[in-house]
Amino acid sequence: MNTETIIIHNPKAHNLILGQAHFIKTVEDLHEVLAQASNVIEFGLAFCEASGPCLIRSSGNNKELVSLAEENAQSLSAGHTFVVFVDKAFPIQVLNAIKAIPEVCHIFCATANPLEVIIAQSEQGRGILGVIDGFAPRGIENEEQKIQRKSFLRDIGYKL
């Protein structure tokens, strides 16, 4: 078995969700969940089919995001994985609904950070071992930084 690291191409730091599912129906179910989340959300998604014709299936309401999802899915080429790029919404707004889709098995990450995906390849195919999401911590927050964090969450409406 060989391993390699794939850097996710995300030049505009879009929010993205990387996961694994088990059925071709995933494409339509992800589309429906995302479209129902908000009337302004823009998204593109791609799914790596792992049987039959083994195609990358895609959908979305933003051509640029669909293309970006397809490009990254092809770079990963890992069976039954999906990549979703989101604009005008945050993963926190759709993540629980995505996790509730019956064929979704696992979410590797939801991020806008630089992302590296660790891939294993065998004679059969490729799979995701894990992700490197963003950067390593640079220290422990101090009291002033705690106040700033709490204030930020209230300023953007995530806490009262």
Look at residue 157 in the predicted model and tell me its pLDDT.
85
* Range of weakest confidence among 56-65, 117-126, 149-158: 149-158
45 beta partners: 59, 84
pLDDT tens per residue, range 22-61: 988 999 999 999 999 999 999 999 999 999 999 999 999 9
**Is 48 part of a structural domain of the chain?**
yes
Look at residue 158 in the predicted model and tell me its pLDDT.
84
Question: 143 vs 8, 108, 131, 150, 152, CA distance in Å?
Answer: 35, 31, 30, 11, 14
Range(s) of the domain holding residue 43: 2-155
Give the pair of three-digit tokens for residue 61.
């309401």
- Distance in angstroms (rounded) separating the CA atoms of residues 112 and 157: 19
> What is the number of structural domains in the chain?
1
Based on the number of CB atoms within 10 Å of its own CB, is 14 exposed (0-12), middle (13-18) or buried (19 or more)?
Answer: buried
**Is 65 part of a structural domain of the chain?**
yes
Q: How confident is the model at residue 159 (pLDDT cuts 50, 70, 90)?
A: confident
CATH number at residue 76: 3.40.1520.10
The arithmetic mean of pLDDT across residues 69-93, rounded, is 97
The arithmetic mean of pLDDT across residues 125-148, rounded, is 97
**Is 160 part of a structural domain of the chain?**
no
**Is 72 part of a structural domain of the chain?**
yes
Give the pair of three-digit tokens for residue 158.
């995530």
